Amino acid sequence: MVEIQLEELGSDEFSEYTKTYLLNQRLDLSEEEAVVIHPYKVKYARELVLTIAEILSLGLFKLFLLWFPQYRASWTSQPCGIDDIEYVEVIDQKGNSSIEKVYKRSFKETIPTSNAQLPVLKSIPCFNYKSLKLYLNVVTVEWVMLSSEAHAFQLYASQLNYFNWGLNTQTVSNLRQTYGQNLLKLEEKSIMRILIHEVLHPFYIFQLFSIVLWLLDNFFFYSCCIFMISLCSIYFAIKESKDSDARVHSIIGESDTFTVIRDKRKKQVCGDELVTGDLICLTNDERKTCPVDGLVLSGSCLVDESMLTGESVPANKYALEELSLDSFIKNAFNVFSSHVLHAGTKFLQVNSTLEMPCYVITIRTGFSSRRGKLIRDLLYPKMRVSQLYKDSMSFLKLMIIFSLFSVFFLSLYLFKYNAPFSHIIIRSLDVITILIPPALPATLSIGIANAVYRLSQGCIFTSNPECISTAGNIDTFVFDKTGTITEENVQLSHSYVKDTQNNLEVAQNAHQFSMSKTLISNISTCCQSLQIVDGNIIGDPLELALFNYFNGRFINSFEFNVRPRDALFTVMNGKDGQEIAYSVTRSLEFDPVLRRMSVIAVGNNKKTPMLFSKGAPESILDICSSRTIPNNLYHLLEILSFKGFRILACAWKPLKSETDLQQISRGSLERDLVFEGLLVFESKIKKESRNVMNVLNKANMHIAVCSGDSLWTSVYVARQSGVFGSSLFVYVEDSEEKYELIRSTDDEVKFKLYNVKEDCYLSTAKHTTFDYILSDENSAIAITGGLLRKITESFGEEKLRSIIKKTKVLARMSPSEKSKYVELCRVFQSNVGFCGDGANDCLALRRSDVSVSLSDTEACAAASFISQKKSVLDIIAIMLEGRCSIVTSYRCFQYMVMSAIIQFSGTILLYLRNYNYNDSQFLFMDLAIVFPLSAAMSHFAPSDIITSNAPSSTLFKKPSLFLLGLLSGVVLSSQWLLDVLLVKLDSTSLPTWQAGKSNTENALVSCSFLLTCLQYVGVNLIINRKSEFLSPIWKNKLYVSSSIIIGVVCLFICFLNNQHWVSKVLHIVSLPISYRFIIVLLGTIPFLVVYLFL
């Protein structure tokens, strides 16, 4: 809901509409994206001051304001009326701010918006934000987005001859100005723009500052190396940005040409030139990609929506029969509507004739279309800031505070010894560059990057790498049933038909379905949405299984007394030597709410049309005459559902031929049908499903199954796959015991008690309350979507939390109910994962913290992970990688912090004597020790086992802080002890204080350098001790070899003669053998003790 805060300021330009206000508004751009808009007017005097400051700072201040635009807005803005708005500050949900320039537009007619209409004015303020255009409605005084859907209907309804005339040239021009071109391509970014807006980060500015400082301190070689490394980093960042844009453009592809009706004739136009309200005429040979979102007004077509939904089954799109505003808008916003075409979907087949051409009206273009929204998500990803990143920034602030104290202390100390002012400044700033590693926050992405690579090797791809660390802390995982836990392909196990006593009897094979006994074979072959594409029959796997079982085949309707224009298709099946053909003249498509579909069919040997219906048993029972319902139906349904079968019911009735069957409503047709029989399907449980559930149960994770099937079937699948884990009993909602559609209005709900171990139902009290169920610790709950809605509205937060935590099966769940359940889990649990495989799971996939799509298509664009192997085992791999990435990133962060503390402890003690490390020593420490060890430790693979413990998601845990404190104490005490010992043993040979110049070649500097090298290795070994979330150390061959080589080299250098070339390069002076042994003891023994202690 839009929340608006208004403050009166006084102005008169729009006084005829409203008073003038300063508008601060929260606006929902979509279900998942909201922004706060602050309009303002510039104070030009202050703007001039900023410009001067930017010039004097050589552009650095301007760069700072690009990173933090809110400071520019707060400094230069002033309150203004709606007629004076020059800029708006837009703040997203993450607190990121951007400044957008406001310009004026005029309209010659009223334009519909999301909740009103823009008036006809000469100048209406508007601005662009992330490829969206927002306008200020001066009547309602709020920022709005235009409603192209309502505008499209206005264009259709305002012309009586719309199908013959289409839009005129002037209207097309006005619409293109209003909504923009149907383009998803952005202007090519220049290298300078990428450098300024995307690459230049405070990290690089701090790095540049450090390089300048090191050059002033005569560290030329070290500065040049760091400068070259930074340039390489910038180059690869620019290259990655270019490659990313190229990938987006490759997804968009080139636009095809389409036939549209404009100026009373057909024209060929490029897809990029289509506008809202354009009437597209599709031809039968159309095999192109739909360039816009559109609504089918006549004809039909078959499209591949896999790019958008991940659904491998093609979707039929039919003409919208009720062309009222409410129906038009309702379908335009319904993702699952069978009348809406989405941009990015591919036409597989178009049914267009002279009498019934396939017309599509454009309702959304550009970034407002479905594909445009997906491209926009790629261009402006919604990054989730992990807790680790937040903690790292907090830790960095603490280190900044500590460095400032160190600077203050060192400055006073150097001032006491009459050091030159320039020397004090350089040494003080040196401390900051040492103690605050600029790459510290970046280390958190190392583990994620390696996890992304390993997952891609296993054919698991991610659109949001930040979700990998979230996957490591998942504590609730929700699964779709069909195609996820069970196999996608279903088989007809057996069927039931009515006998002469009005009881259902089993029919084991297809040959028992003769015309003399039942119409079930004709219902099965006629009541379907299969299509022939390139000679192959494609469609829903269940319908395809039925069609093949009854030997169905499509034939040419010219062979029968049915006009082709009246028939959608003609099918035939032959049983017992009889050949029966039916031509389907109208199809009432499957409705996910009604859970059934129907067709009107005419037989070749009959003139009476028939209505055939097929769907969920309770849905079919709702439209059947009670006289035709078999006596043993309810008992049979309960038995079959209990055994886990998937059931469809069939019904039929004759229709009056003189009735206009094309115009009569669905509600009037679907009533008083004759119940015909049951089709029983078996969908086998995937072999790996039980293994996955066992692993998750052992890890003490909450598991739930969300399904659209019946409750009993879902409970059976949950038991067979091991969802219930250690639960001994399951309280199963009994509202479906007789497939009644009207639920009890009692506050208490009936439950059946299911014994998981014995696989049987037990008797329970007549009314079992939720309080009683929640007190049973060894039980779980199985409910339907209807009861979920009821308890969500009725119970308080604590009770609802307990019910959600105990619920493991949810059946008869619609897509929106699945999404609602995931949202409830997110509210009451920490992190929620969802695994699905189709379009009906998209809403839940979007709502979950971590979503896995078992699809080999490009999209299920809603999912954060896509498994091309379609294996539920990939969930385990994702969680293991998530845990590994958290621990690896955390350890890399710890090591970078400790590396800074090690270098700080050595340099600060040297600074107190006006000594310092030399150029080559700094370079050796950073490039030969810290960098290789950091890179090697990031390559730890995940453990093979998911334990019940989860890695810490925060840096501020007592064990972690204790370890950092302990290691810091060991490092500082060792350096201090070395300093004390060497000064006591060799005080006469150490150089005296030299004002303005630091000595870099003496025994103390050489000993401190050698000790520091050993400390780097020792700290790294302790940080990378054994972890239950990582593979054993010996399996990381890169780390083991690197640690051994670097450790041996450091020991080797400790005992080198000062005449050796390595000693000369590193400026190591001649040291007595006793000094060398002291260094080795101080650099190894303390860390060995700590390692054994931990």
- Asked whether the beta carbons of 743 and 512 are under 8 A apart, the reply is no
CA angle (90, 92, 94) in 5-degree steps: 145
Number of Cβ within 10 Å of residue 930's Cβ equals: 22
**Which H or E element spans position 148?**
helix 148-157
Look-up of token digits 């340039």 = 231
* Entry field: residues in the chain: 1094
H helix and E strand count, the chain: 36, 43
Residue 741, exposed/middle/buried by CB under 10 A (0-12, 13-18, 19+)? Answer: exposed
**Which H or E element spans position 491?**
strand 491-498
> Active site residue: 84, 391, 430, 480, which one?
480
Q: Which residues face 999 on adjacent strands?
A: 915
Q: Give the ranges where 829-928 is alpha helix by DSSP (H).
A: 842-847, 874-911, 919-923
Q: What whole-number distance in Å separates Cα of residue 366 and Cα of residue 87?
A: 25
Q: Considering only CA atoms, which of 1067, 1084, 1054, 1058 is closest in space to residue 922?
A: 1067
Please give the single-letter amino acid code of residue 751. F
- Phi/psi at 865 (5° precision): -130, 140
Q: Considering only CA atoms, which of 26, 139, 128 is closest in space to residue 87?
A: 128
- Asked whether the beta carbons of 612 and 522 are under 8 A apart, the reply is yes
Q: In a 3-state reduction of DSSP, which class is residue 322? A: coil
Give how far Cα 424 sits from Cα of 407, 1008, 1069, Å: 9, 22, 27
Q: In a 3-state reduction of DSSP, which class is residue 99? A: strand
Q: What whole-number distance in Å separates Cα of residue 1062 and Cα of residue 1052?
A: 10
Q: Considering only CA atoms, which of 1007, 1001, 1015, 943 is closest in space to residue 972?
A: 1015
- Asked whether the beta carbons of 46 and 75 are under 8 A apart, the reply is yes
Look-up of token digits 């445009």 = 372
First to last CA, the chain: 54
480 is known as an active-site residue: yes
* Greatest distance between any 2 Cα atoms in the chain: 121
Please give the single-letter amino acid code of residue 903. Q
Positions of E strands within 901-1033: none
- Asked whether the beta carbons of 507 and 494 are under 8 A apart, the reply is yes
Give how far Cα 702 sits from Cα of 96, 414, 572, 727, 854, Å: 34, 61, 49, 12, 20
- Phi/psi at 805 (5° precision): -65, -25
**3-state SS track over 381-401:** CCCCCCHHHHHHHHHHHHHHH
DSSP string, 205-234: HHHHHHHHHHHHTT-HHHHHHHHHHHHHHH
Number of Cβ within 10 Å of residue 665's Cβ equals: 10
Contacts by 50-56 with C-beta closer than 8 Å and gap 24+? Answer: 50/75, 50/76
Number of Cβ within 10 Å of residue 781's Cβ equals: 25
Please give the single-letter amino acid code of residue 327. S
Q: Considering only CA atoms, which of 417, 427, 409, 408 is closest in space to residue 217?
A: 427
Residues taking part in catalysis = 480
